[in-house]
Amino acid sequence: MKKKKADCLEPAGMEKDRSYRWMVKRKKGRVFVKKWTATFIAAFFAILFLMPIVLTVTNSFMSSSEISSNYGQVFSTTDTGGKTFISEKVNLKFIPDMVSFSQYITVLLKSPDYLFKFWNSVILVAPIVFFQLLVAVLASYGFTRYRGRIKEMIFFIYIILMLMPYQVTLVPNYLVSNWLHLLDTRWAIWLPGIFSPFAVYLLTKFMRRIPISVIEAAQIDGAGEWQIFRRICLPLCKGCLCSVAILIFIDYWNMVEQPLILLSDDTMHPLSVFLSKIKNGEIGLAFAVATIYMVPTLLVFLYGEDYLVEGITYQGGIKG
Amino acid sequence: MKIRKLSERPEKIKKVKRVGGNGCRALRDIHRLKKKASLRDARGRRISSVFLTPSILGVLVFFVLPFFVVIFYSVVDNPISHQFVFLDNFKMVFQNAAFRQAASNTMKFSFIAVPLAVVLSLGLAMLLDSKIPFKSQFRTFFLTPMMVPIASIVLIWQVLFHYNGMVNDITAIFGAGKIDWLKSDHAQVVIIVLFLWKNLGYNMILFMAALSSIPKDILEVAVLESAKPWQIFLYIKIRYLSSTLLFVTIMSLINSFKVFREIYLLTDDYPYPTVYMMQHFMNNTFGNLDYQRLSAAAIMMSIVMVVIIGILFLAENHFGRDVEG
């Protein structure tokens, strides 16, 4: 109570008062302590959050013999497989004894298998991102113009579909792919991905914020629907398109369930599935492969963090 | 006669008449314009539905129509003979021990992980909302796990939680015994930690957006009225955050159903029983191609989801009404 008074009233005569000064001092001290405890907690969490990523990256610079001596135990299939490990303990190291690029050299030059899987990931994800955006931009324009009860109902169905977990949507996807003989081809992943309602939802929410007067002005100037879409809505949506693209990219780059169920052929699996099978044998390479796998997402993140944040913010508040 | 008729017309037209001088012509013009506009509207409506077609067709073919088939499959005895058995499939799924295990595990996981995710991310958002240095850097750090593919991180996770791993070394300092994290009842803890690690950043961003949308003047008034910090938090911030709180809860719940990915990558098709989730059940059923069981399980799952989403909408209607976010 007193503290607050001191803060906001500051009567002229009080300035020379010792108790007042003391109060201000105490308050400043408290704010200082508070601020630095908050920073400390934030830093603690930040370290916790970043540690796995940093560890993965630093470990990718170890030579494979160092890795197998450190982590051999972890990735051996059976603990009593006849092997004896150099060290009893699993040594977690932040900094490798000797920086070596041997892992990367092996992955990039000597064993094309990993690069092939990486390419698989790219092939699976890139068309989905591009075409989902294309379909979604068109659809969201349709949802934005001439809203009626039917359109609202369809949009509501989209929202429900968007919120459904894979457990539910994969069954219909599987059935359709089976009927259309798409199973075990990339189309089984591409097509449901392209028509996924997620991007439609986000873009529609964004487009509905474009003031109607802008569109009407264009209409009065004689613009047709296509021109309104092309010249007005699309340029205004550029930022939102970026954020949606990033969100889709993360989601599909990380996919595991779909290829597991829809692609029974191992050679078409993306790196995300393949990484979990590395465990035996080539542990030495695993960290390098993992690092290579997360490089694209980190690049996208560095480039588009603000877009990502914006995209997430638009997701908040389900009702458009 | 004409003038009298015009005077009965609405205000707008009268004005036009006064401006244009000749009421009759003005009226005709307006009619023509209206007709033109309605024609244009109809055309626009048609064109805008053309814009919609690819998406709607795709959603129909890949999601909606097959879903009806799923419903159909869930009430017949097999896809060839189409014998109507109504709820037998559901009963069969319910009596399946694996399904019950999976359902209870998933529920248990959600009950623990979702509140933790909501509270912790709200805490982080409040932390970043207060005046601390390096705010944007911290935001970046907290958001990074969301970007990193789980598959890349699983390796280090296995190292950390191994029987001889680092986490056990740390707990040993506090005198706790060694635990084989991934192959015991503690597996769920590992998964929860991984889930939180992955999802806190996303939730935090949502909360931060909501926190920054609270009108500043209200907070200032509260301070002037010498409200205590906890009062400000409880009566103002939570009030304004209510719809975001709901949204975050729902999203966390949905994400908690997706946690299979983490478990699959950490362990395998058949993990330790306490982390055997719904998706494992589905995956293994996909393996045997048992359509009825799959369909019934999917339908049950979707009913649960629809109920949850319905609650979200009702709650948002109820809470979001008097607060303008």
Contact A46 B302 (CB under 8 A): no
* Higher pLDDT among residues B44 and A233, named by residue: A233
pLDDT of residue B323: 54
pLDDT tops 90 at residue A265: no
Mean of the per-residue pLDDT values for chain B?
Answer: 79
Write the ipTM: 0.80
Residue with tokens 């060694």: B178
Q: Which CATH superfamily is domain B88-319 in?
A: MetI-like (1.10.3720.10)
For the CA atoms of A58, A60, A62, A65, what is the dihedral angle to 10 degrees? 140
Structure tokens at A14: 């009080």
pLDDT (tens digit per residue) in B241-283: 887 888 888 888 888 888 878 888 877 666 777 777 777 777 7
pLDDT of residue A26: 77
pLDDT of residue A167: 76
The answer to whether A257 and B260 are in contact (CB under 8 A) is yes
| Residue partners of A246: CB distance under 8 A and separation at least 6 | A300, A301, A304, A307, A308, A311
Contact A276 B264 (CB under 8 A): yes
Domain locations in chain B as residue ranges: 2-74, 88-319
Q: Which of A281, A279, A266, A288 is nearest to A108 (CA)?
A: A288
pLDDT of residue A90: 61
Domain locations in chain A as residue ranges: 2-55, 60-100, 113-315
- Across the interface, which of B142, B202, B295 has its CB nearest the CB of A171? B295
- Domain A113-315 fold is MetI-like fold (1.10.3720)
Closest B-chain CA to A294:
B148
pLDDT of residue A319: 43
Kindly report the nearest CA distance between residue A250 and chain B, in angstroms. Answer: 6
The answer to whether A260 and B283 are in contact (CB under 8 A) is yes
Least confident of A83-92, B94-103, B219-228, B273-282: A83-92
Contact A46 B141 (CB under 8 A): yes
Contact A45 B140 (CB under 8 A): no
Contact A160 B309 (CB under 8 A): yes
- Across the interface, which of A41, A43, A49 has its CB nearest the CB of B197? A49
pLDDT tops 90 at residue B118: yes
Contact A192 B63 (CB under 8 A): yes
* Angle ∠(A122,A128,A130) on CA atoms, nearest 5: 95
pLDDT tops 60 at residue A87: no
Least confident of A65-74, A124-133, A265-274, B165-174: A65-74
Closest A-chain CA to B293:
A171
pLDDT tops 50 at residue A82: no
> Considering the entire predicted model, what is its pTM?
0.82
What average pLDDT does the segment A101-111 reach? 78
- Across the interface, which of B59, B164, B258 has its CB nearest the CB of A165? B258
Kindly report the nearest CA distance between residue B308 and chain A, in angstroms. Answer: 10
